[in-house]
Amino acid sequence: MAKKQGKELSMRTKREVFRLALVNKLSQRQIAQSCGIDHKTVGKYIDSLPAELLEYKKIESLDDKELAQALQPIKETGFKTQRPLPDYERIHQELQKKGVTLKLLWEEYKE
């Protein structure tokens, strides 16, 4: 089996992977063998498929540029949640108390 290492699959191959998965309902290993790629690569591309494209007819209706755009991962910027910075003076005071550990304070901070 010829494996393409470190290279992006052609759009034609990606479409074939999606067709075999969505229309023919083949396993990832069967698709990999058919397309000459690794089964992990097949899984990566199937997992990257957005929910609105889980019907092959919708994939067929897109041109290569539109499909490539739909497959691009959404890049997140910044932190998911904004937490306040810890109060280091309070941490120092709390650590002076018996039974208080840095791990305990960290868990409280995470909550």
* Confidence (pLDDT) at 75: 52
Q: Where are the domains of the chain?
A: 11-71, 81-111
pLDDT tens digits, one per residue of 41-84: 999 888 888 888 888 888 889 898 988 888 876 555 555 566 67
Distance CA 33, CA 105 (A): 52
Q: Which residue's structure tokens are 């868990």?
A: 107
Sign of CA dihedral 28, 29, 32, 37: positive
pLDDT tens digits, one per residue of 89-111: 988 898 999 998 989 888 887 77
Nearest in space to 6 (alpha carbons), one of 32, 41, 34: 41
* Predicted model pTM: 0.59
* Confidence (pLDDT) at 28: 92
Q: Which residue's structure tokens are 């690569």?
A: 41
Distance CA 3, CA 66 (A): 26
* Confidence (pLDDT) at 71: 82
* Confidence (pLDDT) at 77: 54
